[in-house]
Structure 1
Amino acid sequence: MNLRVWENPWRLMLAINAAVLFGVFLHKIALPPFVPYIHLLVDYHFGFTKRALIGAVVALFTAKVPVWLVFALGGAVWLITAGLFVRLFRRTFGFDAHLPLFAFMAGSPLFLKNFMHTLGHFDIYGCLFAIILLLIPARSLLYVLLATLFSMILVLIHHIHLLMYVPTIAAIVVLRYYLARVANRSDMVIGIAALAATGLLFIAAQFLGTMAVPEADFVGYLQSRMADPTRTGLLGFAYIWYQPLSKEIADTWGRLPHNLLGLPVFALLIWLHTPLWRYFSNSIAALSVSAHRRIVIAAIAIISLGYLVVFAMVFDYSRWISNWAVCLFLILHAVKMLPASREVAPISAGDRKTLIFGWIITLIPRVGIIRPF
């Protein structure tokens, strides 16, 4: 780490990534925040409502919501997430020998750069909570209870988190808490109760959180909370609080033929991270307990299955691919906290193919929300 930026291509990649991130931010704040803004307006004024927690918290501090709050709040959460991830990486790996791994993670268009592009959306909250759970000690059942609280908060922010980040949080709890001890009866009972409570909350949000008042009344209330009520175009997504699950699935399958055209691009992006995936695979193989290896593989399969279900239900494919990759990045950190029988060789800093892959992912600014780029 004592080389100058221009003498080390991996440090140069990180510097370029910082410039790319700034460019993505400038582009983002020039766009109307249709979906993020309306989520700051919706609260529990009409009773229990899905996707309303963030708006309810905002309502505690201000009766009128300015548009700039989307970028201020989203930017603050992004900065906290990025800062905690850097701290987590330093603690898990360190930077001296693992700078290429850091470049493949932090510089990936699937991670921080795409979170910047989706600034104000709810995805990053799941990542933030998972990072916190990777940073704090896992010494008592309070850890399990905190993970349960985080999962419930995520479901109240948006119920799709049950498939997006709750499985990753559950996997982190299993890998960091349950595999570190001989689980007793209390551990098992509380773990099962936590899963059941989170599942019941999801069912309530999905099926009982639909708006009961006429849409005109709902939109009128949202408009009363706007700092600039004349910008009614920002309320165009109010229908999602009335849309049943069957309609969401029908819309997704109607767009499926067109959206599937992006799969080769997603496959290419995943392939460009081959050095990272190879290091991940070697880290799993190096675990000293065979049961741990099987549990990690099962956790990855369950997380991936959750995203397949999301793919069938909601058509924001670029976001789902990105968050799936982020979940794997986080699971890798949890894997490195398990006992290993041998050291895993870091990603080669001088390998030509690895350097090419690193430069390509550095120059890709983000993945997008629905279709690639």
Structure 2
Amino acid sequence: MLPDMTMKRPWLRLLALLALLLPVLSTPAFAQDPPSSDSSGDTMIVATREAPPFAMRTADGKWEGLAIGLWDEIAQKEGYDYRLVEADLSDMIDGLPRGEYDASVGALTITAEREKQVDFTHAFHSTGFGIAVKSGGPDWLSLLASFFSMSFLMGLAPLILVLGFVGFLFWMAERRRNEEEFPRDIRGLGSGFWFSAVTMTTVGYGDKAPRTPAGKIVALVWMFAALLITSTFTGMLASSLTAGRLGGEISSPADLLDKKVGVIGDSAAEQWLAQDGIASDASFDDASAGLAALEDGEIDAFVHDDPLLRYLLRKSDLGDVRLLPGSFGRQDYGIALPPGSPLRETIDRDLLEQIEGEEWKGMLTRALGDGS
């Protein structure tokens, strides 16, 4: 009965054919495989360079360090297969848009100029620049010259005027009844000046003293006023005879203008100095070479990333080299990726999870000290 009906009604034949094909179409052979986490299956090429303690090579040739460990945690979490290759600083940036590397990891500073060529992740460490100088003794010629500088004389002049005015008041109060110590003639003005000076310095030789009530009142007021004046003058003297004069010629970036300064070529430190009009006179391949040149007297200062300099000086025996207190400018370290990299969002998320943890903070403190 059914064959006859299907022959007479074509639409029934179509339904029968679909009924036969339905089990075949629903089999897994026709289902699409889900995409893998690494669809390409290629090994990522990651560029790095020596920048202790963020990236450094061990004796057996393996790479380790703060940035390397951070990248390895991200790669393990996302299932990235990667291989680290060494590159110079400029190539770590230039090689990304050329397709030579899939990422660059190390102590890479995020700058506007570099951002034009590559994409950076979120910063994983913020710091500044350090200035390394020789640990010399006091520069006595510079110290002596400071006593004759205009700034020192300008600070001394008001003090002399105040001493002269107070001395005049003493003389006016004492010249009639204490003529022996404060004569009525011009010598009395000198005696008043002398008395005001020794009173201010709390020396008090005792060769002169006020005898009149007016003189004693002036002396009492002057004693208390002298305390304030002395502290003010001490501050002015300290600013004139700067710490740089007492401990060397360089105490801030401003002192580098007429000095021979060394940097690493194409580094963020070189760009930072150029912005302030400071020319770098010597270029080095790495920080260790720059510090050695500084110790040998080939340059007057070496400017580089503060945490890198601090780490190297802690691990080295460069006793004649020291870092200026504090850091200067600002740097943010990030991971560099090719422009438009689809991995950026994923890496950013994993990176932030890592650096917000206590383990990362502890690693920074152990590697860089409390000043990390």
Normalising by the smaller structure, the TM-score range is under 0.3
Report the structure, 1 or 2, having the larger helix content.
1
**Greater Cα radius of gyration, structure 1 or 2:** 2
- TM-score under structure 1 length normalisation: 0.22
Report the structure, 1 or 2, having the larger strand content.
2
